[in-house]
Amino acid sequence: MIEHRSHTYGVLGEFDTEHQLCNAARAARQAGWVNIEGYTPFPVEALNDALGLKRNLVPLITLIGGLCGGLGGFFFQYWVNLYAYPMNVAGRPLNSWPAFIPVTFELTVLGASLSAVFGMLALNKLPEPYHPLFNVERFVKHATTDKFFLCIEARDKKFNVDDAKRFFEGVHATNISEVQDD
């Protein structure tokens, strides 16, 4: 059994609607599984509650990126105009900060946007061209098209293939498959 588990990524159940998926996710959590994950062809907000997902780190990363971009942008211009290359233009003060605002603003947006996108990708551990789920034919055909999937992962302490299969039968999954990782 232990040898078998090392090659199993988890057990995958397929559902026709997002309501069935959400109900199954809630039931799985109540049954005590922790490492479960839903797969949907479009974002389903009810699933976040069903899986108990709360906040994520993307907004914080974006805020930090934006602050770095903005402060870095402003003080870079400050340094250029006061120390690196002071230029007297029509007697204006060297720290003519209102004139630095457009570039500061643009760099704030740039820093925030880059960190939002790359932060999101990094937290999602993407790019990840191979994933065990891609070994399941029905998952490849339908997960990004029209079906809803729930996976109980083998890394869960309580995991056991037979229990998971029996659970999916109980919640009327239309298809149940064991996901092999090889």
Residues that bind other proteins (CB under 8 A): 18, 37-44, 47-48, 51, 53, 56-59, 62, 66, 76-77, 80-81, 84-85, 87, 89, 92, 96, 99-100, 102-103, 105-107, 109-110, 112-114, 116-117, 119-121, 123-124, 126-131, 133-134, 139-141, 143-146
- Check if the beta carbon of residue 10 is closer than 8 Å to that of residue 179: yes
Report the distance separating Cα 95 and Cα 78, nearest Å. 6
Pick between residue 32 and residue 57 the one whose CB is nearest to other proteins: 57
Pick between residue 4 and residue 45 the one whose CB is nearest to other proteins: 45
Distances (CA, A) of 25 to 14, 57, 90, 152: 12, 23, 68, 9
Shortest CB 6 distance to other proteins, Å: 22
Pick between residue 33 and residue 139 the one whose CB is nearest to other proteins: 139
Q: At what angle do helices 161-170 and 18-30 cross, to 10 degrees?
A: 130
H or E element at residue 38: strand 36-39
